[in-house]
Amino acid sequence: MPFRNYSQFDSAALDVMTAAYDAVVARLQLKNDDPLTGKLAAKIANLAAEGERDVGKLTEQALLGLK
């Protein structure tokens, strides 16, 4: 789980963040050791910290942030 050290988020937020992370990883076919996974987790955490809780929006915004 990429967000195990993000205690500022409640379990519902972490579930949404993880779903978005998994969606992007699957879409881009990333491996666990790919350097982009760290950037992806950080981008999703930043978006969630701003209040975004929609999996689809997190996924799309994270994808845009990686391009």
This prediction's pTM: 0.91
Indicate the domain borders of the chain.
Answer: 11-66
- The pLDDT, as a whole number, for residue 43 is 95
- The pLDDT, as a whole number, for residue 67 is 75
Is residue 66 scored above 90 in pLDDT? no
Q: Sign of the CA dihedral 42, 37, 25, 10?
A: negative
Mean pLDDT of the chain: 93
- Average pLDDT of span 32-47: 94
- The pLDDT, as a whole number, for residue 6 is 78
